[in-house]
């Protein structure tokens, strides 16, 4: 009996040591770009319903487009689940090479967005339009999706805005969308991809994932409220934690 008990204990211990790290030690940071647009109301409703945090990287011009958008900004700022991030004033009008050819202009654009968003105290959580760049305390990474020569030219821009108090966040994985804003991966496929990224440690910061999404993915035309809640529920079921952006680089 004693030998059987010992063998059982050893077997249990071996099983525990062979298990992967708990998903609870793995944190997903939900980040949504480009608002306020047609999905923002559903995003705010879903965050309130699920009680999880997210960062909304907003565009100054989109806020100023209508009273409804200004009201959405006010509602987002009042939510305990939302961090407001700066995603530029103009979104570079989608002309990125021209935008990043002028470092002083990039800084002026971000500062104008701060005024619209009411961001007054540094550090300013920021995602540059069209660029997967990190400039955080202890975390620096260039955009690997653009050519080396272009990246070298733009480093001065990144460094200039970082020195002015803008914390720059790229991303680890994306819930992709087509040209109309329709989500591409199913929730199940996306959650599987997230699990693979964690398992392979393909992350900028160990056990922390910045998940990129876009506002229009969550519009009513794509059943956005239900889809966003389904994603959050699926991640909860896998045991993932959800992080506030201020805790990302700690």
Structurally, the chain folds into a number of domains equal to 1
Confidence grade of residue 85 (pLDDT, cut at 50, 70, 90): very high
1 within domain boundaries:
no
198 within domain boundaries:
yes
111 within domain boundaries:
yes
- As a whole number, the mean pLDDT across the chain is 91
170 within domain boundaries:
yes
139 within domain boundaries:
yes
Q: What is the CATH number of the domain that holds 183?
A: 3.20.20.370
CB 245 within 8 A of CB 29: yes
CB 49 within 8 A of CB 231: no
Rounded mean pLDDT, 141-165: 91
2 within domain boundaries:
no
Domain range enclosing 203: 22-247
151 compared with 181, residue with greater pLDDT: 181
CB 66 within 8 A of CB 241: no
17 within domain boundaries:
no
The pLDDT tens digits of the residues spanning 26-56 come to 999 999 999 999 999 999 999 999 999 999 9
Instruction: Identify the CA nearest to 53 among candidates 248, 249, 250.
Output: 248
pLDDT of residue 8 exceeding 70: no
Rounded mean pLDDT, 103-117: 98
135 within domain boundaries:
yes
pTM score of the predicted model: 0.90
């Amino acid at each position: 009996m004693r030998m059987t008990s010992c063998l059982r204990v050893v077997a249990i211990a071996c099983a525990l040591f062979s298990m992967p790290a708990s998903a609870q030690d793995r944190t997903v940071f939900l980040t949504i770009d480009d608002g306020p647009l047609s999905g923002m109301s559903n995003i705010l409703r879903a965050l309130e319903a699920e009680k999880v945090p997210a960062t909304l990287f907003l565009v100054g011009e989109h806020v100023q487009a209508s009273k409804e958008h200004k009201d959405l900004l006010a509602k987002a700022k009042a939510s305990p689940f939302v961090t407001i991030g700066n995603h530029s004033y103009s979104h570079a009008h989608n002309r990125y090479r021209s935008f990043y050819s002028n470092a002083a202009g990039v800084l002026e654009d971000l500062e104008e967005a701060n005024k619209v968003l009411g961001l007054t105290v540094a550090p300013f959580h920021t995602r540059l339009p069209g660029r997967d760049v990190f400039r955080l305390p202890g975390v620096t990474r260039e955009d690997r999706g653009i050519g080396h020569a272009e990246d070298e030219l733009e480093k001065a821009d990144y460094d200039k805005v970082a020195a002015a108090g803008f914390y720059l966040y790229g991303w680890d994985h994306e819930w992709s969308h087509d040209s109309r804003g329709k989500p591409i991966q199913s929730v199940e496929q996306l959650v599987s991809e997230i699990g693979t990224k964690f398992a392979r440690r393909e992350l900028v910061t160990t056990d922390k994932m910045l998940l990129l999404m876009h506002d229009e993915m969550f519009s009513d035309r794509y059943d956005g409220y239900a889809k966003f809640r389904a994603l959050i529920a699926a991640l909860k079921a896998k045991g993932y934690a959800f992080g506030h952006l201020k805790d990302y680089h700690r």
